Amino acid sequence: MDDTLTMTQLSVPGTHDSGTQKISAGPAHTQNFGIAQQLADGIRFLDIRLAKNSAKTPGDPLQVNHGKVSCDITFGDVLNDCSAFLGTNPREVVFMLVNDASGDATATTVYDGFQAYLSNSAYQTLLCVSATPAQLALSELRGKVVLLRRFFAPGGVELGLNLQQQGTKFAGVGWTNNYSETFNTTTPDGQTTLHIEDQYKTHDTSKKMQAVSTALDKAAATPPDGVLYLTFNSIAYAGIPASTPYQYAWSVKGAMNPALQAYFSNRFAQTPGPARLGFVMLDFYNNETGHLDNRNVQTVIGANFA
């Protein structure tokens, strides 16, 4: 890809709650492959939720959680997988959204623990913690894990693209836990605008797919706008009757991953050629082991070149 591109011009496949492979099937289980396999399959955006490491591993103070559920991997495990992948593929980039699993916008746990990784020589050249990565050329991001931050950091600290919640959604700054509508937000420094679709409590798959397709259509229609588009094609556990993330992804009526495949097929049949789709996050992107279906990931990647 052209070295002069920025991340706002890319089509990037990602996973939602990326570290949940080891969790038992049910409400908290959203991925059936580990981080290393996801990267090998073309995933380039990871959604990582962190909490204090209950095992108290020296030098590895944070573990990956889905809410209060431990994913049985540490943040060090995630960074090591990324480091190994980028060591072998130095022209690739991994974008990583890091959140506090507690959802507390003022908690210092993740920030405090993060300092251990920043001071570890194994990760110092791995992490890109620029506050304005969306304005950097791809040539400056290659070989890096680019941090998008939804956890607390003190004012004035440069620690990734700042999506820490800043007041209410109506202030237009920061990323609130907004699950009822697609919204625009701007980083506190005013340098980066984002368009975010994360309606994870929309348990009607038809309504959710409408939100997803509208967000993707908007991203494709205005590629030079400098806006970072994040679209989550995932639905949380609940509904009537209650369904798991896997069922919403693959097996309920109007399941999200087949619906996304149908959207892509129709869109590229009507409008062939490259399309800026932004970042597209999936649950169970590859279906179950033994029944692999990587078409959505391949299509998002291919949109950069079609």
Which pLDDT band, with edges at 50, 70 and 90, does 56 fall under?
A: confident
Supply the pLDDT for residue 287: 86
Which pLDDT belongs to residue 49? 97
Task: Please report, rounded to a whole number, the percentage of residues in the chain having pLDDT higher than 90.
Answer: 87
Higher-pLDDT residue of 291, 195: 195
Q: With contact defined as beta carbons under 8 Å apart, do 275 and 10 qualify?
A: no
Quick one: average pLDDT of 93-101?
97
Mean pLDDT of 256-270: 97
Strands 69-74 and 62-66: antiparallel
Distance CA 187, CA 160 (A): 11
pLDDT band at 131 (very low <50, low <70, confident <90, very high): very high
The predicted structure's pLDDT at residue 173: 59
Tell me the mean pLDDT in the region 126-151. 98
Residue 172's pLDDT is 52
Average of per-residue pLDDT across 92-112: 94
pTM of the model: 0.96
Residue 59 banded pLDDT, cuts 50, 70, 90:
confident
pLDDT of residue 168 exceeding 50? no
Q: Among 267, 273, 219, which residue's Cα sits nearest to residue 10?
A: 219
CA count, 13 A, side-chain hemisphere, 188? 21
- Alpha carbon separation from 94 to 24, 43, 82, 146, 161 (Å, rounded): 26, 8, 7, 6, 14
Is residue 167 predicted with pLDDT exceeding 80?
no
Judge whether residue 24 has pLDDT over 80.
yes
Q: What local confidence, expressed as pLDDT, does residue 171 receive?
A: 47
User: What number is the average pLDDT over the span 16-44?
Assistant: 97
Higher pLDDT, 168 or 239: 239
Question: How confident is the model at residue 248, as a pLDDT?
Answer: 97
pLDDT at 8: 98
* 3-state class (DSSP) for residue 297: helix
Rg of the chain taking only CA atoms, in angstroms: 18
Query: For all residues of the chain together, what is the average pLDDT?
Result: 94
The residue-averaged pLDDT of 285-290 equals: 80
Q: Look at residue 17 in the predicted model and tell me its pLDDT.
A: 98
